[in-house]
Structure 1
């Protein structure tokens, strides 16, 4: 396993996890719908500028014609429905509990990857998911004596996690393409839609200081985090990237405890232990068997490892990573692997 993809996933988790308690502080300044829109708009705007600076002009997306449906689906679920559900849930759930509940995203991501997209999931992965779900149940039941209203916040956050789980699986289908374009497009479209709907419902922009702060939180917590997440999807597959990303709630919980001065209960720490154990089971999973690579063509940054043995029609330093459209011939071999962009085989 390439450690750089693990680093990408953990950095993505750190940025998103830290953004959650900051979003909690911003909820009282504007409507949840407007906040969700501005967070994504900040990511889209910042990443568009970054891409223009990197390429010195606007360049094509690199997406194949059949891949646009995956990206548009990811934008709808992850960029529109997901953040709206989270912002609504944050108005009815304290920041540390909401941060830990976000661990459900890893579980739901793995379930969708396994059931719908046929990624491998062994007993260790399933046991880890059950531990994380158990932690979420403990958190939901620890709300007190308020009856059904105590479930509204946690259920909204869980719905947001399901939306992001679908988004993660759809994004993995296009993860070989430009990560800045994927993340920037999602932010721009989702931000514009949500802000437009918020205005239609009577929302108005906050003062300039709050607006700037929201855009900055969006750039780091939603934009740069998503770029790193897409890069991790490319090398680790959906379920495993989701497992690494599920460290985000622990970071968010720690920031909430310090930043918001929230208190903790025994149920909080029981949930933390259960979720931590589940994450550890995911991170220590090992997968190896003989498998077949069908012929395929795509473009992404690569070196000439055992999966990339092809000729070039341009000058190239054989020691450097490079990016171009290339073809993979059929191959049968055995080695430790995960369902990355080169290992989408059945089991």
Structure 2
């Protein structure tokens, strides 16, 4: 693995670890903050935090490595789709999280791998190997187990909302991948302010109450860390790895999120959850090694 590719893998893993903080701590804040308002604050926190970091970096005059090309008119469709999907996805996720346990939602976030890889293959023509395809199937089966509500003999509403959010993010990941050679901080600022403003409009139209200053501050801080810094790392990783491979390394985030949720809420382990967890681990194992090999080949070719 080349040094550049190794750094990109590190960025993908950092993105996963930072985003894993979002679900359990959002669940805590949802006790006092409405779901739509929570979604808006998370993205506004990302936009505000990354804007301040960008301004601070410019004031110091430290540019470091070349960050990437400026946005062009041809990028407009991808930027518009990215912002629109980033309005829908957190609204769906917060609604799902308000109806489901934090550990289940964290694990269901792995469906984003399935959505990202399928869109990358079907729409953008990225190669997805046979082993990755099997891993995607195993992860999908685990998502079905987590989503099934045995009492109602159907899929739980909270799980379906979470899966819909992952589908939006899967499409959005591929749109963002078309912009991965741009400045990642610039991309996050656009995502944060654009998507946050859109979600805020939805929250206000829905009649959501404004949170207290303390709750709003905590939500904004969480958004900066788990969305802002995470997205910046994710976009930077995509520059060398591509959408499908970055998503594969990013797959550790649901396990980190689930572990944090269990530590916070002490929820008893249901047999279905344990089985789904095992399947998720197997599916991730099938996907990640193949992605690493393809990354090494890509790095050697670069």
Q: TM-score, normalised by structure 1?
A: 0.80
For residues 55-79 of structure 1, what are the alpha-carbon distances to aligned partners after superposition, in whole Å with 9 as ceiling and x for unaligned?
239x9971122012212211111x2
Matched, 1:87 2:94: yes
SS of the residue 1:174 aligns to:
coil
Shift of 1:269: 1.5
Structure with the higher fraction of residues in strand conformation: 1
Say whether the 8 Å CA contact 1:61–1:181 is kept in structure 2.
no
CA distance in 1, matches of 2:69, 2:25: 32
What is aligned with 1:322? none
CA distance in 2, matches of 1:266, 1:227: 37
66-75 or 154-163, which moves further after superposition? 66-75
Out of 163, 169, 177, which is 2:168 matched to? Answer: 163
CA distance in 1, matches of 2:246, 2:211: 35
Matched, 1:138 2:159: no
Shift of 1:270: 1.2
Tell me the matched-pair count: 291
Out of 169, 178, 186, which is 1:173 matched to? Answer: 178
The gaps in structure 1 that reach 5 residues or longer are: 289-334
Say whether the 8 Å CA contact 2:33–2:215 is kept in structure 1.
no
CA distance in 1, matches of 2:208, 2:160: 25
Matched, 1:14 2:8: no
Calculate the aligned-residue CA RMSD, in Å.
2.1
SS of the residue 1:45 aligns to:
helix
Say whether the 8 Å CA contact 2:109–2:166 is kept in structure 1.
yes
171-180 or 16-25, which moves further after superposition? 16-25
Higher-Rg structure is 1
Structure with the higher fraction of residues in helix conformation: 2
Matched, 1:336 2:297: yes
Shift of 1:111: 0.3
Shift of 1:197: 2.3
What is aligned with 2:49? 46
Pairs within 5 Å for 1:93-104: 93-104=100-111
What is aligned with 1:27? 30
SS of the residue 1:337 aligns to:
helix
For residues 213-246 of structure 1, what are the alpha-carbon distances to aligned partners after superposition, in whole Å with 9 as ceiling and x for unaligned?
0001100111100000001111111011111112
CA distance in 2, matches of 1:191, 1:93: 23
Out of 275, 278, 287, which is 1:273 matched to? Answer: 278
SS of the residue 1:145 aligns to:
coil
Higher relative contact order (CA 8 A, sep 6+): 2
Shift of 1:132: 0.6
The gaps in structure 2 that reach 5 residues or longer are: none
Shift of 1:95: 0.6
Matched, 1:71 2:76: no
Pairs within 5 Å for 1:121-270: 121-141=128-148, 143-148=149-154, 151-270=156-275
Question: Following superposition, which runs of at least 4 residues in structure 1 exceed 3 angstroms of deviation?
Answer: none
CA distance in 2, matches of 1:130, 1:216: 36
